[in-house]
Amino acid sequence: MKKVGIVMGSDSDLPILRKTMDTLRSLEIPFECHVYSAHRTPEEARDFAASAREQGFGVLIAAAGMAAHLAGAIAANTTLPVIGIPCKSNCLDGIDALLSTVMMPSGIPVATVAIDGGVNAALLSAQILAVEDSALAARLDAKRKADAAKVLQKDAALQAELNA
Ligand code: RP5
């Protein structure tokens, strides 16, 4: 199976990416995770993106906060699908990173998930890889069913409380 490459602009983004890694592990998807910044280590970020396809990656996830150019900078150097996670910062609650990540010019797409959307970034990367992997697609189906069952359990508990 192709690997998922995860890049974060700072180790202060790690709590969001831990959710991404936990979700990938639960789906048995191999991944690598690195700290490379579009601004502080632009050469390493570029080299990682430019060599990602030959390194066996199938999807890249890039997470950054504030003036979050990382996902766009990664996408500029590969034609692998790139998923951007805007991370919340103290000043503008993540709106800064959301706009910096999502508003890409035509020609260089970034699939942007919600602010701090670490879980959905993992799930979207899994769905991309599952296009060509029926076993992974079956694991995604099973997860959807299990997640739906948890919601229905919560509804049953609420109905029991309200009707007691
Ligand atoms: C961004 O700046 C990083 O992705 C992080 O979200 C933010 C703050 O970084 P630190 O100052 O915490 O290293 O580039």
User: Are 125 and 143 contained in the same domain?
Assistant: no
What pLDDT is recorded for position 68?
98
152: Cβ contacts below 8 Å, ≥ 6 apart: none
Q: Which residues of 48-62 are buried (b: 16+ CB within 10 A; e: fewer)?
A: bbeebeeeebbbbbb
Residues of the chain with pLDDT under 70: none
User: Are 141 and 125 contained in the same domain?
Assistant: no
Ligand 1 neighbour 87 (Cβ under 6 A): yes
What pLDDT is recorded for position 25?
98
Among protein residues, the one whose CA lies closest to atom 14 of ligand 1: 9
Q: How many residues does the chain have?
A: 164
Domain count, the chain: 2
Beta bridge partners of 62: 7, 84
Q: What is the DSSP letter of 7?
A: E
User: Are 33 and 55 contained in the same domain?
Assistant: yes
User: Are 20 and 58 contained in the same domain?
Assistant: yes
Q: How far apart are CA 70 and CA 16, in angstroms?
A: 15
Residue from 12, 61, 115 to probe ligand 1 pocket by mutation (most atoms less than 8 Å from CB): 12
Among protein residues, the one whose CA lies closest to atom 6 of ligand 1: 65
User: Are 110 and 149 contained in the same domain?
Assistant: no
User: Are 82 and 162 contained in the same domain?
Assistant: no
What pLDDT is recorded for position 121?
99
User: Are 32 and 74 contained in the same domain?
Assistant: yes
pTM of the entire structure? Answer: 0.96
User: Are 124 and 140 contained in the same domain?
Assistant: no
What pLDDT is recorded for position 43?
98
User: Are 78 and 128 contained in the same domain?
Assistant: yes
Q: Number of C-alpha atoms within 13 angstroms, CB side, residue 69?
A: 12
Q: What is the CATH number of the domain that holds 128?
A: 3.40.50.1970
Q: Which domain holds residue 127?
A: 3-132
User: Are 17 and 80 contained in the same domain?
Assistant: yes
User: Are 33 and 57 contained in the same domain?
Assistant: yes
